[in-house]
Structures are given as C-alpha cells and as structure tokens.
Amino acid sequence: MKHAPYLILLTALAMVACTKEIVFSGEEAETKTVINCMATVGQPLSATVSKSNFFLTQEEDIDISAPDSVVVTLYVNGLPMGEMLHSKDSLVSRDNYPPLLVQYYTSDYRPAVGDVIRVEATAPGFDKAVGTTAPLPGPVSVTVKGITLNSHQEYSLENVSWQGYYDIWFKSYATLTLEITDPNPGQTDFFMLYGGFDFPMEQVNVAAADPRMRIHTNDPAFGNQTSDITNSILVFRPYREYLFRDQLFDGSTYQMQIPIDFIIGLYDMADTALLQPTKVSLPLQHLSDELNQYLYTMTWVEPGAQFLTEPTQIHNNIQDGYGIVGGRHIDTLSLTLPLPDFSIINDTLI
Amino acid sequence: MLFLAISLQGMAQKHTISGYVMDAQSKETLIGATIFDTQSNKGCATNSYGFYTLTLPDETVNLQVAFVGYEPQNHTFILKSDTTLSFLLQTNNELEEVVIEATRTTVNAQNPQMGIVELPIKQIKTIPSLFGETDVLKAIQLLPGVQNGTEGSAGMYVRGGGPDENLILLDGVPVYNANHALGFFSVFNADAIKNVTLYKGSFPAHFGGRLSSVLDIRMKEGNMQAYHGNASIGLISSKVNVEGPIVKDKLSFNFSARRTYGDLLIKPVLWIINNEDPYSKVNLGYNFYDVNAKLNWKISDRDRLYLSYYNGDDKLFFGSTTQRDDQGMSLKDETRLSWKWGNQVAALRWNHVLSKKTFMDATLHYTQYRHTLGVNMFEQFDDASGSSIQQSNDVRFKSGIHDLTAKIDFDFTPNPNHEIRFGGNYTYHIFRPDVQVLLYEGSGQNLDTVLGSPDVFAHETALYVEDNMTLGDLFRVNLGAHYSTFTVQGKTYHSVQPRVSASLMLASNFSIKAGYAYMSQYVHLLSNSSLSLPTDLWVPVTANIEPMKAHQWSIGGFYELPELFDISLEGYYKTMDNLIEYRDGASFLGSQDNWESKVCMGRGWAYGVELLLQRSFGKTTGWIGYTWSHSNRLFDRPGQEINEGKVFPAKYDRRHDISLTVQHKLNKYFDFSATWVFSSGNWGSLGTQEYPSLDHPLFFIDAVERNNYQMPNYHRLDLSMNYYQYYDQGQTGCLNISVYNAYNRKNPFLIMTDSEWDGNSERKRLVQVTLFPLIPSISYSYQF
C-alpha cells in the first residue's frame, strides 16, 4: 500500500498522457560474451558462458546458439592451465523474454589461496572476453565463542495430530558470539556471512523437519544495515546486510554479537530426552574485492522497490564482455543450537 | 591661493538626498527604480523596500527617476542640505501611445554584478502558461541559464546545479518546496507579487546558504490610497486579490487566495461510477490552495512595519469502501489514502531610517514545510451471531522542516562611491527527514511504533559585509565576504565565502564584467526523480555529510542598444563539491535505514555561455535567451561510487537551450504573447544490454550506466491573447484565451520499454510518455 499514491498518480497521468513508440537513438551497445565464474579456494573451478542481448531485440531475431564454438581458457597466476571442459548447456527461458543459452565449463583445477584466476572466452564473431580475480583470499581465523540462550522463549501449539497429540513449535532467542581476527592488517577485507544453512537430517525421530534459524545482522560490523538472514529463502539472493568488512577491527580481533532465534518442533511429545541439540553449518565467506563489489551492487536490486529509484549498475569486471569472475574462501562454522527449556509447556502436555 | 582653491574644490560640500520611490496611485514602493543625476553622472537604485540614498555635491542637480512601466520624471533643483525627497511615478499603461522610456539608464551597465535578471511582474503575467495559470517560476525558467526539470515541472536547475541549490525567498523568507501539484505549478500567486529578481552568479555577500541561485520575490504591500482587487476564474482554479488602506497613507493590506477545484470537477464522474456498483464506493480528488496576506504600516517617515504571511497546502486523497452482506454476515473493507504537503511562511519586518545615509531592516521570520502520507486500512467482519472482528492498519510517513530566523541588515551609503551593506542572522532549524508511524489494532494484538530518523536540530549563523564601490568614472567593484557557521550533532562547520565582481565601462552603454563567488550550503534535498515530489527530503549536513561548496567564475558583457535592446553575454565556470545523490536502488522508502546510509557524496562541474536579448519597454517586449552548457558529475569516493566512479552527465545536461518570448500590446483592448522554447533532451539511465547473473541464470542483469541515454529534444509553442473591457466605474475585465503546446508537440516526459502484440508475438519497443498535448484554456478576471 505504500506505493498506492504513486499508483494513483500513474493512473491519473495515464488518463492524460499519451505514449508513442520512438526510435532508439543511442549507440547500440554490441552483444558481448558473458562470463560468470566464482572461484572458491579448494573447490573445482567452473564457469558459465553466454551472451548478452540488446534490450529491443525481438525474439525471432535472437540466435539462440550463439556464442558458438566457444573456447574457454583458464590462467592461474598468469600461466595457462588449458581449456576448460564444456560440460553441458542449459536453455534459459523467461516469459516475454527471448531464450538464452548458458554453457557450462569445468576444470579440475582447485584454486589455492593467493591464486589470480583469469578466464578468457573466445568465440567467432565476438571480442575476446577476459575476467580476472584479485588474489584469492585466504582463511579467516574465526571461532564460535558461544551461544547464550536468552531467558525469553516462546512456543505455539499447532495442529492436532490424528493420534490426538499436539505438534509443538519452540522458538528460542540467543546471542551468537563469533570471534574474528583481521586476516590482513592494514588492508580492507570483505566478508559475507551466510550462503545457505545446513541442518543435518538425522534428528527427525523426535524433532520436526525443516528447523529454522534467523540471524540478525545488527552488530556494528555490518554497518547501519540490519536484517534477518533466514534459511527459509527458497532462492538464495544476497542481501547487503550479509556483507561486512573489517574496517571496525582492522589489525585486531573482534567479537561479533549476533542475535539469533531458532525454531524446532516436536512431533508427539514422546521423550524430549531423546532430542539432540540442532547442529548448523554456517558459512563465512572471505570475498575478493571484485566479488564483494558485485554482491554489494546486486543487493541494491530489490524487485518491487525499483519504482522511483535509479537503475542499479551491477559491478562487472569482464573486459570486452559482461559478468563477474570473482573469488572467495569459505570457512564453515559449526554451531550447536542449545535445546529449549521444555518445562515451559509441561502443563499443556498430553 | 591655488592650493586653497584645490583644497576647497576637494572639500566641496556634499549633502544627501534620500527617500522612497513609489507608485503614484497605490503608494506601493518600487524596487530597483533608478535615480540618476545627469550633472554629476552619479546614480543609485532603490533597495528592496523602495528606499534610496544619494550623496551629491552642493550644486544644481538634475535627477532622472525611472522604472520600467512608469513614466520617468525629471527634477532639477539646487542641493544645499540633506534632503528627503520621495517620488511618485505614474504608470504609462493608460496612455494610448506607449512612451518609450527616455532615460535608458546606464545603471545596468554600471552595475558590477552579473547574472542578475529582474522580471517585471506585469511582463510575467503576459507570458502564456499551462492552464492559463500565471507562474513566476515557469517564467524564470525561460531565462538563459535556468532550466526546468521535466515537462511541467517547476523545479529550477540553474547553471548545472540541482533544484535544492536555489534559495527561493518570499519577502526574504526561504520557501523550501515552492511547488503545487507535484511541480506543475508554483506556490506563488502572481497577483500577490510585486517584484521578482533572479541572481545566477556573482552573488552579493548578503546572500548565502545555496550554491546556484537566489530568487528574491517580494510581495505587494497593499494600496495606501484606495481599495482595489482582482478576481479571476479559470479552468482549474480561481483566485482573488484584494488590497487597500486600513488607514489611508498609514496602514494598508494585501490579501490573495487561490484554490483549484479538480476534486469538485471529478465528483460527477465518481457519482456515476459509484452508482453502478452497489457494493463499493470510491472517492478520489486533488486540490491545492494558497493564501498570501500582508500588512504594511507606515509608522512615520523613518519607520515602517510589515507583517507577511503565506500558507498553502496540496492534498491528494483516495478512498474506497466495500461492503457485502450475506446471510446475516457482513464484511466491510475500507481503504483511505491521504497525501498532504505544504508550506507556511510568516515574517515580521521593521524598516528604520537611522540617518539619511543609513537604512536598517530587522526581521523575525518563520518558515515551515510539512509533508504527510497516510494510509489507513480497516476491515470488519460481523458474523450471524453478532460478534465482530476488526482489524485496522494505519501507516503515516512524515517529513518536514521548520526554521526560525532573526536577522538584521544595514545599508550605509557614506558617499556615492560607496554603498556598504552589512548584517547578520541566526536560524534555528528543526529537520524531520523521515518518520514512519505504524499503528495496528486487531486480533488482540496492538502495535504502536515509530520508525525512521529522529528529528535533527541545527543552528546556523551568518555575518556579511559588502561594498559597492565606484572607482573613477569607468570602474565599479562589488567586494564582500559572507561568513557562516552551522552547528549540528555536536559538530560545527565554518565557511568564509569571498564575493567579488567588477564592471568596466568601455562606453556609456557598454561594459564588461567579471565575477567570482564562493558559496556554501548546509541543507540538501534528496530527490529520487525528475518530478518535484513532496516526498523529496530536506536533510541537513551532519557529522558525516559535509556542506556543499561551489566556486563560480563568470565573465561577460552588457550592451544597451538605445531604445532597442539590452544585450548580455555571459560565460561561467562552476565547480561543486560534496553533492549528494541517492545510491543506486535507494529511495525514500524504507525508513528502517537511516537516510545517511542511502546517499553518496561526490562532485560536479558546469560551464556554459548565456546570451540574452531583452526588451522591456515599448509596445513589443520580451526576450530571446540562448544557453550552451555542460554539466557533469563524478562520484568516486571509496564506497560511495555511482556509475562505478566514472564521470556521467547530470540529468539536465542540456547542450542547447533556447527561449523566445514576445508580448505585443496592439491597443488598449488587445495584447498578444507567444513563447517558444527548445532544449536538448534530458538524460536518463537505460539498460541497453541484459545478461544472466552469477547467482542464477533466470535472474537477469541490465547493463546500465548512469544517465547514458538522451531523450528526444523538447520544444513547444504557447500562445495567449488578452481582451480587455473597460467599465464605467474604472473596473477592467480581461478575457484570456491561451493555448499551451500550440502545435501539439509530443514531448517526452519519460521513456520506458514495453511490448505490444503484433498478431504473432510480443514485440518489444521503446516508448515515450507525453504528458501535455495541446491544451487550450480560458479564464476571465475582473479588476476593480
């Protein structure tokens, strides 16, 4: 409803305004090769290659197969590592947009810390597109100092099961303390907390499936942005609230206080003693500069909020092309979420 | 004896003539009227209150007093002592043959300051305008160096600066949002206005606080002799103006009011719509009003007191109610939207003539801009048993600014070679950048919370001194300094701003001029769009957001073709620093984010050449203005990049801008006017290539650069005709017929992509939206 006045304004303007088609008078940017590659330290390298489309190209004029005969070459620290293997193709279709061919390339090479990864894509009829990372970042000294359960807890009684027992959902509040040390004093490092939670599934005997956790990024290290990271997002999209840098603790060790809340549920209150604390794997990504810029600019693109805002310019480090070739290092944090205090609902148990 | 003669010559007695220049009928003071002694070739102009002072040798003086639209006067006498002499000038409107102004003053050529344009209000009223509404800001936008935003917008972009870099003063009081109807009209009712002066460069030291321009608008004081008024009715608005003496020659008033009636005109349509659907009702409307009032009290020959007041509001509202009843159950759904914004301005001013050579003006004034956007949604369900469930959501977004100012100014003219001004002021600011009030009631849960940025309090002070010096017969210099401070959030900013301008007379009617000004600005306007939306936020500098600064150098010439034209040619170069703009993707929505985190700081520069041919007397008046200019921006501070830290053109970087306006008085019954404008297209950001993202191939990215696409050129012809009727008791009726966009040019308001079905597939295309086609209008005014 907050957009309502603008909708009314648009409606009023539409009643008096008229539209007419105009000829695009600008310089038509040529179609270019698109390279997207995320180089993760210790993981096999992969990249996708496709092409851009001029925004007014009609569907029947699109050459879906292009770019054809693409050769993708990998360089590490300036040394050629050979061609990347073309593993598969994917035809991406969207409503009201022409389809696009995305070609996948892989390599057995596993980047190491400090590697400078360069990916080149050549294809007939296209300029050679080149994307280069900064030296890949290294591991970060980060430890989980603890998860302190707050006294406040909540629960709710959900559906009555066919056996006449209740499903009970517990919501607990806690503070996660992470201790992180600046890996490169005097230099700005970029990080992202999150990249998908991982809940082991072996606890389904008494616990509900689909446990949920939210991370509230309101520690000062995240800047003035505060938001909630939740694993209920179906399609991962980066948000700027996940990104932080070490300007607050340059050259030193810093303790981040991160409020979290998490939900676990019980099918039948058979025996809470069997319940195991929920384990969570939380990735902390140490980002290269260009990847950080890409993710940061991507976070400004919020569907539905683009009305009356300037279009967002997404960072692009491909020479004579589009896309991003960036690097990262992932440290996986293991969290063990404490069990809730079940005594709060004893009176309601059947 | 020779030495004695020389010393006596140098010590020749001088005395001062001072007084006021006024309209003979109304006793309204005239601003900028010239008083020139042909014997000594010394002259001056009246100040903003119609006061002048001129010190001359004790000898025969021949004073020529002139003002545009009035018959000049000559007064010859022998000056022996300090003299108070006020002049009452007759208008020359009544004459069948328009008198060409004989005394083409050299004061304009001599004035060292550049970039100054005075527009007579009578001339402004003859310029054809949208829906026939005379608009001061629209007239100003026809001057070289001044550009509007988009079609119909009242925003001003002066010499490459933004809309917030213009200090708009109404009787010396800043007006923060000078727009009605989202910028299609300004808040200034021309019937209440006496004088309009625009400063684009070489700003005198007594002005400060903005980078690009000062628009000084003075209200009428009210007829001291008789009651007069004017009422007019038009297609979308009506207005009335009444002025007259409360005590003749002592106390007068001027009152104007205006209101649109779009909300009334749409009522029949809504009645038809609502009658067709028994279950839902809709209410929709828009209106604005404004009120100007002024009291003028001439306490004595040395003291005057003025009280000015302005209040105006815009309101856009929408409401819908849906109610369905079935089998004893009832569901009611209501939505109300109210969008209001407006200004309130008040000023109490005391003018005191301290001595023949010294004039004092002391003012206390208040200005307020307020904006509220409210949405209320209410649901009620009554079941058959009579129990009821209600839920109400109320969201209000508020922003605004309040200023309370005390200021004092002195005009001291010790001799004709020095006109010294000095003074100071203090302003207490209260900024409300953005507040969201959320109220929720229902289902046993209540929420009452306030989000957003807290109020910010600031203190601003300024001191200035300037001297308008005559150095010999050919050379004049205005030299001054403006010192200001701004204290906010425990931090104090200082700024010393030198101002200098000079003119060199190469002939009696030809001068070259040069100037330099350094300006600081402590408030910013955050704007998301090309429209002057009320949601644009006025925010102060803070501990993190520094004051904007600008240096402007200008050079040019001024030439008067006797009895024909005034020609001015000016070039300028301006640099601006600490400009702010919203980051990519940011908007005023989302108050959980402090506004400071949504903006980037950068710099800009602009340069150009302006040519103005102006004729302001005779049967045919008007001007031709041409501007060639560039305006660029660069936001490359680490972490605050826009356009990836590369230079990009300002949105209104229009290479060519032409305006031609002509008014011709055929006879006492008819006059005609025409305006033709042309400007290069605005710049916008258009993503011309799209490609899949790293995250997911279905998520596409538009490859876009800031302001990378120039829209089609803009040009338009407006025509207007006035037919006058004269009644027995001296009243005058005027029928105005005008046409806006006479050849129905489809000018771009915005561009966008869409698709249309061509029978086989969706064909993508680029379209422009045009806002105003050919619009005729008619209005009638009655003057008594």
User: DSSP secondary structure string, B89-123?
Assistant: EPBSTT-SSPPPPS---SHHHH----SEEEEEHHH
The answer to whether A95 faces chain B, any CB pair under 8 Å, is no
The answer to whether A64 faces chain B, any CB pair under 8 Å, is no
Same domain, yes or no, for B367 and B485? yes
Reported as a pLDDT band with limits 50, 70 and 90, residue B57 is: confident
Percentage of chain A beyond pLDDT 70 is 69
Q: Are A108 and A44 in contact (CB under 8 A)?
A: yes
Residue B441 has a pLDDT of 66
Residue of B nearest to A300 (CA): B585
Which CATH number belongs to the domain containing residue B18 in this structure? 2.60.40.1120
> What's the whole-number average pLDDT of chain A?
78
For residues B123-137, give the mean pLDDT.
80
Picking from A4, A17, A309, the nearest residue to B585 by CB comes out as: A309
pLDDT digits (tens, 9 = 90+) for A211-223: 677 777 778 888 7
Residue B451 has a pLDDT of 62
> What's the whole-number average pLDDT of chain B?
85
Residue of A nearest to B697 (CA): A92
Q: With H, G, I as helix, E, B as strand and everything else as coil, classify residue B189.
A: coil
Percentage of chain B beyond pLDDT 90 is 42
Give the CA angle between residues B95, B734, B254 to the nearest 5°: 85
Q: Where are the beta strands (DSSP E) in B107-192?
A: 116-120, 146-147, 157-158, 166-170, 173-174, 179-180, 185-186
For residues B199-222, give the mean pLDDT.
91
The answer to whether B713 faces chain A, any CB pair under 8 Å, is no
Q: Are A314 and B693 inside 8 Å of each other by CB?
A: yes
Residue B499 has pLDDT above 90, yes or no: yes
Residue B444 has a pLDDT of 55
Whether B477 maps to a domain, the answer reads yes
Same domain, yes or no, for B467 and B547? yes
Same domain, yes or no, for B367 and B329? yes
Q: CA-to-CA distance for B129 and B123, rounded, in angstroms?
A: 13
CA distance B764 to chain A (A): 6
Count of Cβ atoms closer than 10 Å to residue B500 Cβ: 18
Percentage of chain A beyond pLDDT 90 is 31
Distances (CA, A) of B334 to B374, B391, B438: 14, 11, 17
CB < 8 Å & 24+ apart, contacts of A221-230:
A221/A245, A221/A246, A221/A248, A221/A249, A221/A254, A221/A256, A223/B597, A224/B593, A224/B594, A224/B596, A224/B597, A225/B593, A225/B597, A226/B592, A229/A193, A229/A194
Residue B264 has a pLDDT of 82
Which CATH number belongs to the domain containing residue B539 in this structure? 2.40.170.20
Picking from A34, A58, A94, the nearest residue to B763 by CB comes out as: A58
Q: CA-to-CA distance for B290 and B237, rounded, in angstroms?
A: 11
pLDDT digits (tens, 9 = 90+) for B670-698: 999 999 999 999 888 888 888 888 877 66
Of B563 and A82, the structure prediction assigns the larger pLDDT to: A82
The answer to whether A11 faces chain B, any CB pair under 8 Å, is no
Sort out which chain A residues have CB atoms less than 8 A from B263's CB and list them: none
Whether B7 maps to a domain, the answer reads no
For residues A6-15, give the mean pLDDT.
53
CA distance B395 to chain A (A): 8
Q: Are B693 and A1 inside 8 Å of each other by CB?
A: no
The answer to whether B763 faces chain A, any CB pair under 8 Å, is yes
Q: CA-to-CA distance for B699 and B701, rounded, in angstroms?
A: 7
Q: Are B172 and B228 in contact (CB under 8 A)?
A: no
Residue B658 has pLDDT above 90, yes or no: yes
The answer to whether B590 faces chain A, any CB pair under 8 Å, is yes
Residue A164 has a pLDDT of 52
Q: CA-to-CA distance for B681 and B656, rounded, in angstroms?
A: 9
Same domain, yes or no, for B137 and B30? no
Q: Are A309 and B755 inside 8 Å of each other by CB?
A: no
Any bridge partners for residue B462, and if so which? B425, B484
Q: With H, G, I as helix, E, B as strand and everything else as coil, classify residue B592.
A: coil
Whether B419 maps to a domain, the answer reads yes
Same domain, yes or no, for B33 and B143? no
Any bridge partners for residue A192, and if so which? A243, A285
Lowest mean pLDDT among A238-242, B168-172, B569-573: A238-242
Whether B703 maps to a domain, the answer reads no
Same domain, yes or no, for B516 and B566? yes
Count of Cβ atoms closer than 10 Å to residue A85 Cβ: 12
Residue of A nearest to B374 (CA): A2
pLDDT digits (tens, 9 = 90+) for B627-649: 999 999 999 998 788 888 999 99
Number of separate domains in chain B? 2
Chain A (35-54) residues lying within 8 Å, Cβ to Cβ, of chain B: 36-38, 48, 50-54
Picking from A8, A94, A97, the nearest residue to B318 by CB comes out as: A8
Residue A95 has a pLDDT of 65
Q: CA-to-CA distance for B563 and B615, rounded, in angstroms?
A: 9
Q: Structural domain of residue B294, as residue ranges? A: 116-680+712-783
Same domain, yes or no, for B70 and B211? no
Residue B569 has pLDDT above 90, yes or no: yes
Q: CA-to-CA distance for B682 and B249, rounded, in angstroms?
A: 52
Of B394 and A210, the structure prediction assigns the larger pLDDT to: B394
Q: Are A300 and B589 inside 8 Å of each other by CB?
A: no
Residue B344 has a pLDDT of 94
Same domain, yes or no, for B57 and B148? no
Whether B584 maps to a domain, the answer reads yes
Same domain, yes or no, for B97 and B128? no
pLDDT digits (tens, 9 = 90+) for A269-294: 545 666 777 777 888 999 999 998 88
Reported as a pLDDT band with limits 50, 70 and 90, residue B751 is: confident
Count of Cβ atoms closer than 10 Å to residue A175 Cβ: 14
Residue B206 has a pLDDT of 94
Any bridge partners for residue B361, and if so which? B351, B409
Sort out which chain A residues have CB atoms less than 8 A from B649's CB and list them: none
Q: CA-to-CA distance for B240 and B781, rounded, in angstroms?
A: 9
Boundary of a domain, candidates B47, B74, B101: B101
Boundary of a domain, candidates B47, B78, B101: B101
Residue among B694, B761, B769 with most chain A CBs within 10 A, to mutate: B694
Residue B376 has a pLDDT of 86
Residue among B396, B689, B705, B771 with most chain A CBs within 10 A, to mutate: B689
Residue A37 has pLDDT above 50, yes or no: yes
Size of interface A-B (CB pairs under 8 A): 204
Residue B656 has pLDDT above 70, yes or no: yes
The answer to whether B54 faces chain A, any CB pair under 8 Å, is no
Domains in chain A: ranges and CATH: 30-132 (2.60.40.10), 141-292+329-348 (2.60.40)
- A293 phi-psi bin (left φ>0, alpha ψ -120 to 50, beta other): alpha
Please report the ipTM that was assigned to this predicted complex. Answer: 0.83
Q: Which of A212-221, B2-11, B271-280 has the highest mean pLDDT?
A: B271-280
The answer to whether B437 faces chain A, any CB pair under 8 Å, is no
Residue B213: φ, ψ to 5°: -160, 160
Whether B110 maps to a domain, the answer reads no
Residue A167 has pLDDT above 80, yes or no: no
Query: How far does Cα B679 stand from its chain's mean position?
Result: 20
pLDDT digits (tens, 9 = 90+) for A230-251: 554 434 455 556 888 888 888 8
Sort out which chain A residues have CB atoms less than 8 A from B586's CB and list them: 300, 309-310
Residue among A55, A127, A187 with most chain B CBs within 10 A, to mutate: A55
For residues A169-192, give the mean pLDDT.
88
In chain B, what's the furthest Cα-to-Cα distance?
120
Reported as a pLDDT band with limits 50, 70 and 90, residue B521 is: very high
Whether B469 maps to a domain, the answer reads yes
- Type of residue found at A35: I
Same domain, yes or no, for B480 and B537? yes
Residue B2 has pLDDT above 50, yes or no: no
Distances (CA, A) of B350 to B51, B173, B295, B361, B364: 13, 14, 12, 6, 9
Q: Are A51 and B691 inside 8 Å of each other by CB?
A: yes
Q: Are B703 and A224 inside 8 Å of each other by CB?
A: no
Whether B4 maps to a domain, the answer reads no
Same domain, yes or no, for B642 and B721? yes
Q: CA-to-CA distance for A148 and B19, rounded, in angstroms?
A: 81
Any bridge partners for residue A257, and if so which? A177
Picking from A2, A52, A298, the nearest residue to B690 by CB comes out as: A52
Sort out which chain A residues have CB atoms less than 8 A from B397's CB and list them: 2
pLDDT digits (tens, 9 = 90+) for B336-370: 888 888 999 999 999 999 988 899 999 999 999 99
Sort out which chain B residues have CB atoms less than 8 A from A59's CB and list them: 761-762
Same domain, yes or no, for B345 and B485? yes
Boundary of a domain, candidates B101, B132, B166: B101
Q: Are B697 and A236 inside 8 Å of each other by CB?
A: no
